[in-house]
């Protein structure tokens, strides 16, 4: 039950938002003066209007309807409907894009008009060959101006990433090789899952007093797999477990016992058993597999740097979101 299920990709930009949408730095409009109902957010004073939100949401709505049917929207996750969650994610997408746009202007990062035109012409050719998609774009007023703005933003994110990676030396092969060599790609852990935080703390105290982790897992863990593995999860890569569990496990030292880690499943007590880096995998996998793992590690290192940058922009920015206007 701990395994994180990877869903189909929505878009490069939206995936970015799914990764960073929960970052701190956004302030709600509670207690503020009444805002125009057509404004869904303000980013350093720049307004994001409802029309822009509606058009962006319509694209995601179409894909969700195709993948999961329209029944998906009323389903609840942690007290919120999927509709509320996805609307919030689309709003986060627009806020993050505006932050990047503003910072790119400050740094003199731009996109050539010729590149936008080239990408738009390619899109237009594909659209002419798909009558159903063409009808959808027409019905939702996703016109040339909107499409070009989307293309421009996607290209701008790429240029912004490139400049950021250049600044931190992440486009330098030697530096990246050095970073990936010691990058932890897998960890081995044991865990005990309980529903109550106080019980988790009691068990941690027993372990620190010399209690046997495996026996305590068999006696207390609510994870259904405990009957088969006694709480031993073995080695797993990044992206395999739910976010909070993974972040805790990959930040620990071997032999360390975690504080209670809260997830949707309850409270976890984690004991880290081992770590594997890219160098460690050299003895275990083929050259092809090793190269693939190295590429994944490079992508993760760059992704982490990009997320840190967006977190910084959000924490330093003046962001107001008016979710009551997401009709």
Dump pLDDT digits (tens) for 28-86. Answer: 444 445 678 999 999 999 999 999 999 999 999 999 999 999 999 999 987 899 999 99
Specify the number of domains making up the chain: 2
- Cα separation, 275 vs 255, in Å, equals 11
Residue 227 domain-assigned (yes or no): yes
Residue 297 domain-assigned (yes or no): no
Do 160 and 202 belong to one domain? no
Region 137-147: mean pLDDT is: 97
Do 74 and 146 belong to one domain? yes
Provide the 3-class DSSP secondary structure of residue 273: strand
Residue 301 domain-assigned (yes or no): no
Residue 64 domain-assigned (yes or no): yes
Do 187 and 60 belong to one domain? no
**What is the pLDDT at residue 27?**
46
**What is the pLDDT at residue 33?**
54
Spatial CA neighbour of 157 closest among 307, 57, 44, 300: 307
- Cα separation, 7 vs 12, in Å, equals 13
16 pLDDT higher than 90: no
Residue 292 domain-assigned (yes or no): no
Provide the 3-class DSSP secondary structure of residue 40: strand
Q: Please provide the distance, in angstroms rounded to a whole number, between the alpha carbons at the two ends of the chain.
A: 35
Q: What is the pLDDT of residues 146-183, one digit of tens each?
A: 999 999 999 999 999 999 999 999 999 899 989 898 89
Do 136 and 241 belong to one domain? no
Do 82 and 118 belong to one domain? yes
Which residues span the domain enclosing 126?
12-167+308-325
Do 33 and 155 belong to one domain? yes
Do 133 and 160 belong to one domain? yes
Residue 88 domain-assigned (yes or no): yes
Do 17 and 152 belong to one domain? yes
pLDDT over 70 percentage in the chain: 90
Buried b (16+ CB within 10 A) or exposed e, 161-180: bebbbeebebeeeeebeebb
Region 192-207: mean pLDDT is: 97
Do 156 and 207 belong to one domain? no
Do 152 and 184 belong to one domain? no
Do 159 and 23 belong to one domain? yes
Residue 174 domain-assigned (yes or no): no
| Tokens representing residue 36 in the block | 């125009």
Average pLDDT over the chain, rounded to an integer? 90
**What is the pLDDT at residue 36?**
87
Do 158 and 200 belong to one domain? no
Residue 84 domain-assigned (yes or no): yes
268: left (phi over 0), alpha (psi -120 to 50) or beta: beta
200 pLDDT higher than 60: yes
**Whole-prediction pTM:** 0.77
314 pLDDT higher than 90: yes
**What is the pLDDT at residue 31?**
44
Region 103-127: mean pLDDT is: 97
User: Which of 25-34, 84-93, 256-265 is predicted with the least confidence, judged by mean pLDDT?
Assistant: 25-34
CB neighbours (10 Å) of residue 153? 19
- Cα separation, 56 vs 52, in Å, equals 6
Task: Say which CATH number the domain at 191 has.
Answer: 3.10.50.40
Q: What is the pLDDT of residues 120-139, one digit of tens each?
A: 999 999 999 999 999 999 99
């Amino acid at each position: 039950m701990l395994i994180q299920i990877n869903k189909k990709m929505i878009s490069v930009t939206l995936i970015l938002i799914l990764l960073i949408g929960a970052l701190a730095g956004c302030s709600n409009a509670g207690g503020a003066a009444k805002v125009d109902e057509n404004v869904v957010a303000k980013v350093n004073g720049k307004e994001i209007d409802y029309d822009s939100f509606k058009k962006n949401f319509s694209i995601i709505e179409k894909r969700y309807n195709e993948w999961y049917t329209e029944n998906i929207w009323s389903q609840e996750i942690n007290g919120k409907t999927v509709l509320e969650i996805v609307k919030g994610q689309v709003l986060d997408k627009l806020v993050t894009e505006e932050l990047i746009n503003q910072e790119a202007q400050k740094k003199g990062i731009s996109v050539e008009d010729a590149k936008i035109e080239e990408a738009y012409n390619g899109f237009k050719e594909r659209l002419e060959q798909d009558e159903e998609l063409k009808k959808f774009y027409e019905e939702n007023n996703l016109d040339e101006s909107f499409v070009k703005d989307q293309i421009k933003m996607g290209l701008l994110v790429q240029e912004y990433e490139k400049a950021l990676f250049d600044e931190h030396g992440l486009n330098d092969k030697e530096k990246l090789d050095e970073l990936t060599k010691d990058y932890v790609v897998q960890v081995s852990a044991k865990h005990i899952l309980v529903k109550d935080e106080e019980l988790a703390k009691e068990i941690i105290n027993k372990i620190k007093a010399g209690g046997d982790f495996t026996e305590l897992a068999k006696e207390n863990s609510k994870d259904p797999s405990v009957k088969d593995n006694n709480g031993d999860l073995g080695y797993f890569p990044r992206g395999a477990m739910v976010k909070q569990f993974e972040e805790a496990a990959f930040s620990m030292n071997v032999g360390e016992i975690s504080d209670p880690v809260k997830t949707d499943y309850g409270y976890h007590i984690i004991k880290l058993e081992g770590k594997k880096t890219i160098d460690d995998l050299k003895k275990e996998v083929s050259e092809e597999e090793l190269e693939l793992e190295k590429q994944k590690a490079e992508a993760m290192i760059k992704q982490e740097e990009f997320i840190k940058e967006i977190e910084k922009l959000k924490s330093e920015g003046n962001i107001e979101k008016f979710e009551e206007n997401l009709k």
